[in-house]
Amino acid sequence: MKITEPTPGAPCWVELGTSDVDAAKVYYRHVFGWRAETDPREEAGGYTMLYLGDDPVAALTPLYAPGQPTAWTVSFATRDADATASAAAAAGGRRLMGPMDVFDVGRFAVLADPEGAVFSVWQARSFAGAAVFNAPGSLGWVELATRDAEAAKAFYTTVFGWTVGTHQDYPQWGIDGADFGGLSALDEFYPEDISAHWLPYFAVADVEETAARAAESGGMLLVPPTEVPHGPKVAVIRDPQGGSFGIHRVGTEG
């Protein structure tokens, strides 16, 4: 990711809604070394910050709605959550939650694109988002998997003004050409029950070692460590509760 700090339109935060927050704390501590701190206030709803050293990098939340799956959600920074939510709806997306305030730290909305891929937008006040990107154990890339690439390009360029570049036939999302993510086609080789979704990738120093630790801790390797042609070494993992995420070798993003 060529974005190194929270930037309007770019990824700024990721959080995992999970069926077992306590188990997730243990699992991600084993995999990434993250330290967890749960907000004790009742109105915070069990929101748990994850830290790499003293730097916030992600969060865990309980599942708040019946039928909500365990999944990672990518948040994109915005100067105006209400305006972005309206723009998303006008472009064919849906509002799933909000916009609403979170204490004095910011304002957010949970949205879905026309193909159903869920994401959120974050209007920062006292909290801007992740304090570090691209370092081992932090967010380094985001990827949209979709069955309609052209519709996705139209939607996200309209809502966020993203640039769309192509690197070895892999469309990449960017802000003024500073790429932070990519677009992967859900083609005929994918089961029909896999719907459009955003997948966060975390940077690691050693993909094989991290993937092995993730599996030994109870996760499942959906994609074993793989060298992407003209790209990084990556793996995709499902945690014990069903949340999927990717890892890539640090320094090879974008």
Tens-digit pLDDT profile for residues 168-224? 678 999 998 899 999 998 876 677 778 999 999 999 999 999 999 999 999 999 999
The pLDDT value recorded for residue 251 is 78
Q: What is the pLDDT of residue 189?
A: 65
- pLDDT for 254 equals 58
Which amino acid does the sequence have at 184? S
Instruction: Kindly give the pairing relationship between strand 139-146 and strand 178-185.
Output: parallel
CB 238 within 8 A of CB 156: no
Do 204 and 247 touch, CB atoms closer than 8 A?
A: yes
Per DSSP, the three-state class of 31 is helix
Q: How far apart are CA 144 and CA 239, in angstroms?
A: 19
DSSP letter (8 states) at residue 4 = -
Before 99, cis peptide (omega within 30)? Answer: yes
Residue 93 CB neighbour total at 10 angstroms? 22
Question: Which pLDDT score, from 0 to 100, does residue 67 have?
Answer: 85
- The per-residue pLDDT for 253 is 63
The helix (H) or strand (E) run that includes residue 163 is strand 163-167
- Please give the chain's pLDDT, 254 residues, in tens: 777 778 999 999 999 999 999 999 999 999 999 999 998 888 777 899 999 999 999 999 999 888 889 999 999 999 999 999 999 999 999 999 989 999 999 999 999 999 999 999 999 999 999 999 999 999 999 999 999 999 999 999 999 999 998 776 789 999 988 999 999 988 766 777 789 999 999 999 999 999 999 999 999 999 999 998 777 899 999 999 999 999 999 876 65
Q: How far is CA 28 from CA 46, 65, 128, 129, 133, in A?
A: 17, 23, 23, 19, 17
- Among 171, 176, 73, smallest CA distance to 122 is for 73
Q: How far is CA 39 from CA 42, 61, 166, in A?
A: 8, 10, 42
Q: Which distant-in-sequence residues (6+ apart) come within 8 Å of 140 by Cβ?
A: 1, 133, 134, 201, 202, 203, 248, 250, 253
Grouping H, G, I as helix, E, B as strand and the rest as coil, residue 54 is: coil
Q: Six-digit token pair at 247?
A: 């890892």
Say which residues have a Cβ less than 8 Å from residue 177's Cβ, sequence separation at least 6.
163, 165
What is the set of domains in the chain, with CATH numbers? 1-254 (3.10.180.10)
